[in-house]
Amino acid sequence: MKKDTLIIIPVYNEEDNIGSVIDEINEKEPTVDIIVINDGSIDNTEKIVLSKGINILSLPFNFGYGNALQLGFKYALQNNYNNVIQFDGDGQHNPADISKIKKTLDFNKYDIVIGSRFINKSDFKISLSKKMALYFLKSLIYLFSNYKINDPTSGLQGLSKKTYSYYSKPWNYPNDYPDADVLIKMLKLGFTTIEIPVNMRSRSKGQSMHSGLKPFIYMLKITLSILVVVLNCFFNRRRGC
């Protein structure tokens, strides 16, 4: 029987983590459906997901985190889910937080619910460079939208049908790292947004997609993307962003 909320888990080479992530979600939140989007993994990720009896859509190549999520949004729209929750497959997100996000979507009718690591005191540790990057992104969001977001890079988000339907359309969602640029656009378009405290965990196995030089490339791309969003909104004020 189809449920009203879909958990979308984009994965790339997460054979060490995805099995336990699925088991935890099934144990702590059996009232949701799960779809795993396999973004061209070359390890045993797909085999492990199938062994758990979970629906999986596999891309032939590594198309990027944003593309994987967008495929999940299209699947949710095709199957008429009320809400979706983005959930990483690396074990950092806590399935115990799903119910809090789900309740906020169901009863408070927000369009975007962000699971924030930084509202309440947390044991989650980040490096100095990541703290500086977060401060920079938070400042840009406030500058361009007059809205305070504490954790703009959180991948744990709940989305209303209105929101994920918008994301599912071509050109409305980036193909690599959807972050502060997307939030600025959605805030300027009037999508209601709230942060709630969650308890995230450090990755224990596998390699982060932000390893090596990727964080520097990411910051450059996200800054340029924010500028594009702001300029587009400025020149299309009458029609929105």
- Residue 194, helix vs strand vs coil: strand
DSSP state of 72: H
> Model confidence over 93-132: pLDDT tens digits?
999 999 999 999 988 889 999 999 988 766 667 778 888 8
DSSP 196: E
Q: How many Å apart are CA 188 and CA 179, to the nearest integer? A: 15
Closest to 141 in 3D by CA, of 195, 189, 186, 183 = 183
CA gap 172, 199 in Å, rounded = 30
Token pair recorded at residue 152: 């703009």
Look at residues 73, 68, 71, 75 and name the one whose alpha carbon lies nearest to residue 85. Answer: 73
Quote the CA–CA distance of 87 and 134 in Å, as a whole number: 20
Which amino acid, 209? M
What's the pTM value of the predicted model, to 2 decimals? Answer: 0.89
Q: How far apart are CA 143 and CA 228, in angstroms?
A: 15
pLDDT grade, residue 203 (50/70/90)?
low
193-197 and 112-116 as β-strands: parallel, antiparallel, unpaired? parallel
As a whole number, mean pLDDT of residues 221-233 equals 81
Q: What is the pLDDT of residues 8-20, one digit of tens each?
A: 999 999 999 999 9
End-to-end CA distance of the chain: 38
